[in-house]
């Protein structure tokens, strides 16, 4: 099937399946997988499509979301897999958590009381995972308060404490602090064991820890960005971002390009305008000659400030034409730009699909063919 988009991203669903299976092989058969990559609209790739691929991998035991609405959406789409809500909620959201059989992260008694109330009223049990703050400073119970917290919420009816976990903030960046976090969580687990408190699932390892610290695997791991970034050779690249040249003009030397005229041409050249800007997710920091794109098997610099809807590219005297494909992230026959190349250039971790604007169509690839196309206006194609 042909498509007619100026700018679009391609998502390889088979790559997601492959990468999840790689994680399973790495952590071992006894370690469960909670796929965190379904949160934030599937890291921007599409929550349902990503969840569907994860389930098809047959190695995912749980899906992870940030807020109840994401889990509710998946339930309404027919997803039966257990879903953990990673974010803290307000008590007024507890009824929906119970209604849609979500597993809730907890670190406050008022939320637990609300969950208990609605579970009892609906004659159901709600599963909760206790979050421990070992130094992230985001949400979670302090380690020294975990035992009193467990004792308090375990007295509430219709609540099942299924898990306890923490989050590592600095793996690969600060080894000493990471050790402190790991040791802090392990101390909590020892205290729980001493008190003969039974909690089935202990989990700590995020994507960075999965790659580097096997001792953190415990009962379950939470891969997220590792599935999409593919920054080790065994993993498949699953994401590409492409656009087209929409205009070309010859400009003289000493010609100002873009807002504020920050970039000035050194000699007469051709400037190609590409139909993609910062509103589409292209980092504002990558203008003024700081980065490159691929056209016709060659790298060319992005010049001038990145505009909302367009970027300008200095193509020199190359044979570049209006309508030529532009690869922002992805590979041609002889050139490649990876997501992690961009990370290293600007230390801008979030340049992956969460930052790609909603007006950019998502084209899903499965079995090397277009499986589905989703635009801002909804699905326009789905393969049988």
Q: Is residue 160 annotated as a catalytic residue, yes or no?
A: no
* pLDDT single digits (tens) 202-216: 999 999 999 999 999
Q: Is the pLDDT of residue 256 over 80?
A: yes
Pairwise CA distance, residues 310 & 289, whole Å: 15
Shared domain for 180 and 289, answered yes or no, is: no
> What CATH number is given to the structural domain containing 92?
3.20.20.10
- Answer yes or no: is 145 within a domain: yes
Shared domain for 221 and 314, answered yes or no, is: no
Shared domain for 99 and 26, answered yes or no, is: yes
Q: Is residue 39 annotated as a catalytic residue, yes or no?
A: yes
> What CATH number is given to the structural domain containing 325?
2.40.37.10
* pLDDT single digits (tens) 4-63: 899 999 999 999 999 999 999 999 999 999 999 999 999 889 999 999 999 999 999 999
Pairwise CA distance, residues 226 & 206, whole Å: 9
- Answer yes or no: is 99 within a domain: yes
8 A C-beta contact, residue 374 and residue 383: no
Q: Which of 102-116, 235-249, 337-351 has the lowest mean pLDDT?
A: 337-351
Handedness of CA 341, 346, 348, 351 (dihedral sign): negative
Tokens of 209: 């820890």
Domain range holding 177?
A: 13-229
**Buried b or exposed e, range 8-33, using 16+ CB within 10 angstroms:** bbbbbbbbbbbbbebbbebbeeebbb
Q: Residues 58, 179, 190, 259: which is the catalytic one?
A: 259
pTM attached to this predicted model: 0.93
Q: Residues 24, 32, 39, 244: which is the catalytic one?
A: 39
Give the chain's domain count: 2
pLDDT of residue 351: 46
For the chain, what is the mean pLDDT?
A: 94
Q: Is the pLDDT of residue 177 over 80?
A: yes
pLDDT category of residue 342 using cuts at 50, 70 and 90 = confident
């Amino acid at each position: 099937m042909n498509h007619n988009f100026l700018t679009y991203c391609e998502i390889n669903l088979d790559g997601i399946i492959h990468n999840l299976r790689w994680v399973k092989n790495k952590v071992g058969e006894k370690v469960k997988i909670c796929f965190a990559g379904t949160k934030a609209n599937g890291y921007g790739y599409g929550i349902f499509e990503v969840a569907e691929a994860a389930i098809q991998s047959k190695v995912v035991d749980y899906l992870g979301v940030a807020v109840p609405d994401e889990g509710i959406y998946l339930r309404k789409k027919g997803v039966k897999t257990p879903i953990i809500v990673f974010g803290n909620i307000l008590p007024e959201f507890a009824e929906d958590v119970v209604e849609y059989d979500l597993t809730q992260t907890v670190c406050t008694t008022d939320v637990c009381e609300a969950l208990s109330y609605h579970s009892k009223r609906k004659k159901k049990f709600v599963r909760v995972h206790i979050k421990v703050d070992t130094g992230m400073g985001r949400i979670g119970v302090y380690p020294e308060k975990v035992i009193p917290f467990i004792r308090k919420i375990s007295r509430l009816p219709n609540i099942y404490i299924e898990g306890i976990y923490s989050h590592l903030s600095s793996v690969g960046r600060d080894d000493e602090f990471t050790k402190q976090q790991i040791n802090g969580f392990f101390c909590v687990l020892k205290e729980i064991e001493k008190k003969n408190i039974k909690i089935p699932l202990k989990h700590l390892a995020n994507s960075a820890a999965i790659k580097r610290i096997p001792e953190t695997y415990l009962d379950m791991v939470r891969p997220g960005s590792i599935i999409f970034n593919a920054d080790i050779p065994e993993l498949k690249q699953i994401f590409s971002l492409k656009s087209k040249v929409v205009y070309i003009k010859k400009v003289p030397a000493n010609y100002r390009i873009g807002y504020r005229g920050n970039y000035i041409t050194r000699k007469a050249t051709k400037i190609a305008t590409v139909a993609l800007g910062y509103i589409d997710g292209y980092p504002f920091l990558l203008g003024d000659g700081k980065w490159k794109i691929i056209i016709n098997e060659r790298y060319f610099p992005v010049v001038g400030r990145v505009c909302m809807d367009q970027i300008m590219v200095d193509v020199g005297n190359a044979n570049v034409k209006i309508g030529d494909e532009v690869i922002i992230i992805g590979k041609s026959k002889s050139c490649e730009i990876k997501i992690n190349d961009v990370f290293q250039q600007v230390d801008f971790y979030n340049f992956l699909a969460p930052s790609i604007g909603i007006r950019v169509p998502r084209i899903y690839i499965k079995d090397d063919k277009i499986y589905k196309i989703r635009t801002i206006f909804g699905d326009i194609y789905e393969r049988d």
